[in-house]
Amino acid sequence: MTTFAAVDLGASSGRVMVGELSAGLSRGVALTEVHRFDNRPVRTDGTLCWDILALYQGVLDGLRKAGPVDAIGIDTWGVDYGLLGADGALLSNPVHYRDARTEPVIDEVFAKIPPEKLYAETGIQFLPINTVFQLAADTRARRAERLLMMPDLISYWLTGVAGTELTNASTTALLDPRTGRWSAEVARRVGIDLDLFPPLRKPGEEAGTHAGVPVYAVGSHDTASAVVGVPATTENFAYISSGTWSLVGLELPEPVLSEASREANFTNEVGVDGTIRFLRNVMGLWLLQECQRAWEIPDTRRLLDEAAALPRRAIIDAGDPRFLPPGDMPARLAAACAETGQPVPGTPGEFTRCVLDSLADAYRRTIDDAARLSGRRVEEIHVVGGGARNELLCRLTADACGLPVIAGPVEATALGNVLVQARAHGALSGGLGSLRDLLAHTQRLTVYRPQSP
């Protein structure tokens, strides 16, 4: 038996999970959550920041609770970073990607490098949260000695060794997905100093040690680990990594950098083992979470039961950037319905139904676009992450897409993190296909077959 600690930081909570890998015929991974802690962003002086020291304390507490392990791997959300000064200290709290600071600089960046060129070089979908825009807005970057992306910052504090993990580096819109190297051209035109980034490292490389235990780079972008954790047994699968965001797309051997792909706002993030995550960010369960915050109704079960009993009535565009910042979500959803001449939801149940129908509709459009743009066939859809528990959403997705939805595992990200560590440590071997086989045979999955309308 080998034991791995997976540190997984998400937008609303952080977790430390322990994965035990059994050898021999009963080969499988048993996952236990040993510590969960809130991730509560803080607004100071008008800027929305991550409380990074509280997060790091949560990681340390979790690793202590995990007890002796053979290795550690870290994954977090993408695009955000911390800046260090010459003495190695953090210059300020990392800024949250939902902060509005990039709005005024987007046009300035596009004046230096047109969107067509930026896409042809990096293949990253336009989102105001992208690191390239954040850095253009960040006056502190000029005073910094070093930039560490979120998972790299945690890894640096644990090991004392600085590096930039590749899958997460690709979320910056500064990396060329064809070569897996930085785009010197983009950096030069936007005026970003690439020397701020420590050397790139690939998933599976040892990042250093923490208290004598190896820390491996994994797919340290959480979505990269989630895609490793998709229990597909065919190549013709689409995935929905469903949490605060829904990341919807395909795994490809090569990026698709066409104008059509740019116009459809598809991203080409780098995955584990040289794969490409060809996907679109759909706003995800954030739409509902932000409503629940406004209503002060934490009980999601009740809302889903109410929504399940209602008919489909109004659909909003779940990719619309107006839903990105925190704030009054029910008001924004109501305005979007009214503008498009649809019935405006009144009760929390009606809003919930509208959000879920809109997500299912966005999934259908995204999977159709992904198949068309890449020339691939899709036979089944895997829903992984917390949203795999949402029966109504899985059912609506199967019906909207006319394809079977295979839901689970909920913990795909932590499992993907553990599997890549286990392989780096020599406890497993083989490509992504054999890692996925192991999950397909050992995880509990639910299949939703499409019902005709």
Quick one: 78 or 349, whose CB is closer to ligand LFR? 78
Q: Which of 119, 216, 245, 363 lies at the binding interface for ligand LFR (CB under 6 A)?
A: 245
Residues in the chain: 453
Q: Which of 4, 50, 77, 278 lies at the binding interface for ligand LFR (CB under 6 A)?
A: 77
Place of tokens 């086989």: 437
Quick one: 362 or 428, whose CB is closer to ligand LFR? 362
Q: Which of 18, 63, 79, 356 lies at the binding interface for ligand LFR (CB under 6 A)?
A: 79
Q: C-beta of 80: minimal distance to ligand LFR in Å?
A: 6
Per-residue burial over 162-189, b if 16 or more Cβ lie within 10 Å, else e, is bbbbbbbbbbbbbbbbeeeebbeebbeb
C-alpha separations of 348 from 118, 143, 265, 296 in Å: 41, 47, 31, 11
Residue numbers 4-23 binding ligand LFR by CB under 6 A: 10-11
Torsions phi, psi for 6 (to 5 deg): -105, 115
Quick one: 271 or 330, whose CB is closer to ligand LFR? 271
Quick one: 176 or 269, whose CB is closer to ligand LFR? 269
Stretch that binds ligand LFR, among 76-84, 86-94, 173-181, 209-217 (CB under 6 A): 76-84
Size of the site for ligand LFR (CB under 6 A): 13
Question: Do 226 and 413 form a contact (C-beta atoms < 8 A)?
Answer: yes
Q: Is 177 in the site for ligand LFR (CB under 6 A)?
A: no
Q: Is 78 in the site for ligand LFR (CB under 6 A)?
A: yes
Quick one: 101 or 221, whose CB is closer to ligand LFR? 221
Quick one: 3 or 225, whose CB is closer to ligand LFR? 225
Residue numbers 212-241 binding ligand LFR by CB under 6 A: 221-223
Report d(CA 402, CA 226) in Å as an integer.
24
Residue 14's DSSP bridge partners are 9, 37
Q: Is 152 in the site for ligand LFR (CB under 6 A)?
A: no
Q: C-beta of 58: minimal distance to ligand LFR in Å?
A: 17
Place of tokens 């930085």: 182
Torsions phi, psi for 433 (to 5 deg): -60, -40
Q: Which of 63, 173, 190, 247 lies at the binding interface for ligand LFR (CB under 6 A)?
A: 247
Question: Do 248 and 363 form a contact (C-beta atoms < 8 A)?
Answer: yes
CA triplet 390, 395, 399: central angle to 5 degrees?
A: 150
Q: Is 125 in the site for ligand LFR (CB under 6 A)?
A: no
Q: C-beta of 284: minimal distance to ligand LFR in Å?
A: 8
Question: Do 246 and 279 form a contact (C-beta atoms < 8 A)?
Answer: no
Quick one: 223 or 443, whose CB is closer to ligand LFR? 223
Candidate list 75, 80, 138, 222, residue with the active-site label: 222
Catalytic status, residue 87: no
Q: Is 97 in the site for ligand LFR (CB under 6 A)?
A: yes
Q: C-beta of 269: minimal distance to ligand LFR in Å?
A: 7
Tell me the per-residue interface mask from 275 to 314 with ligand LFR, x by CB under 6 A, - otherwise. ------x---------------------------------
Q: In what order do the strands lie in the sheet with 2-9?
A: 28-38, 13-22, 2-9, 71-76, 213-216, 206-210
Q: C-beta of 53: minimal distance to ligand LFR in Å?
A: 20
Q: C-beta of 63: minimal distance to ligand LFR in Å?
A: 21
Quick one: 73 or 78, whose CB is closer to ligand LFR? 78
- The binding site for ligand LFR (CB under 6 A) comprises 10-11, 77-79, 97, 129, 221-223, 245, 247, 281
Which residues carry out catalysis?
222
